[in-house]
Structure 1
């Protein structure tokens, strides 16, 4: 089988494409001279090899980033000049949409149609943050001492470690890379070992944009030793992590070594609440977008559909009718609507949860198995489980696959109680034609993002993030700049008088 990326043959009968590390502006072999394969989820076959970074490689990358932060041209640039580079990177991404989209589709199984749409929008994040570059400022303080002039400024932190997952490598890297660079930091990125290729292709554009050596570095490899060494490195001042809760716990422990600032964007068990007065056709499309878009491999996946009892049967009927027509197939085909899961481990996890759901007394209303027409690759059907028991593991734990739990409710209070009955608090959807109800429920639902009569909408201007098992900190919007800068307070004594008693605090 052969696939092509902008004229480049990916014939698996020949040697695999090999990716090195990107450190201090150069492509270098890993210190251990080891590589590992990356697999195409649509076929299950290896299509490239990626450098297996070591602790030594991580240290070189962090040292390069630290030097660039203190001593390179980057250190002496104005914020406006840095903003121009960030803007230029956005322009280069816009010029390479098709190539980047195909690399990501081949590497993690995302639909080519989704990736084209995402890549068309991704430059907007760089343009947005480029515009913020010379608007990062502090405040003058109306201090209660007439002989003092006091103000604050915001300064970059230093070396940022970005740990990115396999489900949306380019988008989730952008959420860290754009504000980190805009704020004046340098960065070392450790992508998921499952999906490193598209990011490494993006880094070629970073180089082309003109960023000084050492400002952006990429070390590929595994959590041990690469991720562990990076997050605990004494020169790292900030760790931005997206991934699962268990990996996040390791990161939190590691940052106890260097006291790095930390932001965690983790998972969710997000509810889509459908009230009886909702536009049901739109609500059904919102449910599908929330849980079957990206094959359910999204932190904000709406994996719980809470349906008002009066319209429960009607919504189920509409849901099954539409998902029965979902076209599952090769993500590189434009007519495919669902692609494979990104890894065999994730496919196994979904299958195990389906078996668990049945053992817990759940009832499969649709799906529940691999599609019969696809013998290769890591595909799974869109699946609906009916549950009355909110305490089941299937309704409480994040699956990260195309599995939806449907649960009835009788009134607004019960809907809110069910929505909040989880340790996660990332996202929620509310579907109603009653504006007052929308405001009431949005206020009471515990989530960092609430969509009303829509789902899975994004914008550079809008922050995302959660609480509880969904993590803490925010990405996106102006708030992200505060995650990548620190405040400094400056006191200037205007008085010409002698210093008063030095043993008394002023």
Structure 2
């Protein structure tokens, strides 16, 4: 009703890429102006010079903030092979200190998946991992028929193949793949090998290497040694199928305007 309404000139939508395409299709009947902030399969790359135990808390929350139900949350964790095992074990240990539970309980840090439809979508990633015998570093046990809330355990898939469902698609839930890398060009290629490009992050002590890699990532926002891409002052939007236009910042405000040009010829024969 909104996208097809003749008296609405501008539509701003945040949601999945598939729904964004439907919004765009409906809005096209009136050639409405659009801002679309859509899905992401956001890579997070960790260089070999970090201290795994020190970086793990920030990386955990970069991936599992809001139970993974955040468009810009890290969805694929690429960890250099030199520190992979140590990082994985530290991340598992940290995850066990985080409580998943009812939000009315003061010590709960993560809650349930938002609705049953989304729960079933997240469940499909667990089922696929099990069917393909992928190893879980932590978690992996999920109730296919929940009766006491839509709670999903914090789960890490241990180095699944690059063409697996958990790597190729966005679950939008608390299940994340850990992936090994050794060659810089290769990990950049793998990070960019997606039709989505919302946000990304690169973590390391060597700031020259961090910046060099970050500048080659195809995403609307690329963070270095952090993952907090949305502020009122910076433009936030996606490349590829992650959206059209941006939110926030001067460019976001300009998205709600129409550019108009006026001309005046001062010397004319009829004056």
Q: Same fold (TM over 0.5)?
A: yes
Q: 1:351 deviation in Å?
A: 1.3
SS at match of 1:236: coil
Whether the aligned pair in 2 keeps the contact of 1:268 and 1:470 (CA below 8 Å) is yes
Secondary structure of residue in 1 paired with 2:57 = helix
TM-score (norm 2): 0.94
Structure-1 residue corresponding to 2:181? 409
The answer (yes or no) to whether the contact 2:113–2:173 under 8 Å persists in 1 is: yes
**Structure 2 partner of 1:470:** 242
Q: Is 280-289 or 428-437 further displaced after alignment?
A: 280-289
Provide the rounded CA distance (Å) in 2 between the counterparts of 1:454 and 1:468: 23
Counterpart selection for 1:365 from 114, 137, 151 = 137
Say whether the 8 Å CA contact 2:72–2:229 is kept in structure 1. no
- Given the alignment, which residue of 275, 283, 302 partners 2:74? 302
Change (3 A) 1:279 1:486: farther
Q: How many residues matched?
A: 269
Task: Name the SS for the 2:44 alignment partner.
Answer: strand
Q: After superposition, where does 1:138-177 map in structure 2 within 5 Å? A: none
Contact 2:199-2:229 at 8 Å conserved across structures: no
More helix by share: 1
Query: Aligned partners of 2:191 and 2:239: how far apart in 1?
Result: 14
Aligned residue number for residue 289 of structure 1: 61
Instruction: Supply the distance in 2 between the matched residues of 1:296 and 1:285 (Cα, whole angstroms).
Output: 15
The answer to whether 1:482 aligns with 2:254 is yes
SS at 1:369 equivalent? coil
Match of 2:264 among 458, 480, 492: 492
Provide the rounded CA distance (Å) in 2 between the counterparts of 1:468 and 1:360: 29
Conserved? CA contact 1:231–1:239, under 8 Å: yes
Residues 107-126 of structure 1: pairs in structure 2 closer than 5 A: none
**Structure 1 residue runs of 4+, over 3 Å off?**
none
Residue 491 of structure 1: SS of its match in structure 2?
coil
In structure 2, the CA distance between the partners of 1:375 and 1:327, relative to structure 1 (3 Å rule), is: farther
Matches within 5 A, 1:96-107: none
User: In 2, Cα distance between the equivalents of 1:406 and 1:395?
Assistant: 9
Alignment of 1:15-164 (within 5 A): none
Offset at residue 280 of structure 1 (A) = 2.4
- Are 2:11 and 1:239 equivalent residues in the alignment? yes
Q: Deviations over 1:246-269 (max 9, x none)?
A: 211211111121100111111111
Q: Measure, in 1, the Cα distance between the counterparts of 2:166 and 2:244.
A: 24
Distance across 1 between alignment mates of 2:4 and 2:51: 50
Q: Give unmatched runs, 5+ long, in structure 2.
A: none
The alignment partner of 2:261 has SS state of strand
Contact in 1 for aligned 2:196/2:242 (Cα 8 Å): yes
Answering whether residue 40 of structure 2 is matched by residue 265 of structure 1, we say no
- Is 1:240–1:262's contact at 8 Å kept on the other side of the alignment? yes
Q: Residue 313 of structure 1 aligns with which residue? A: 85
Aligned pair in 2 of structure 1 residues 342, 483: CA closer, same or farther (>3 Å)? Answer: same
Q: How far did 1:444 drift?
A: 0.2
- How far off is 1:364 after superposition? 1.3
Alpha-carbon distance between aligned partners in 2 of 1:487 and 1:316, rounded to the nearest angstrom: 51
**Quick one: which of 327, 330, 353 aligns to 2:102?**
330
Deviation at 1:462, TM superposition (A): 1.4
Checking the alignment, whether the CA contact within 8 Å between 2:221 and 2:229 is kept in structure 1 is no
Cα drift, residue 361 of structure 1: 3.9
Higher relative contact order (CA 8 A, sep 6+): 2
Whole-angstrom CA distance in 2 between matches of 1:452 and 1:279: 16
Measure, in 2, the Cα distance between the counterparts of 1:428 and 1:281: 21
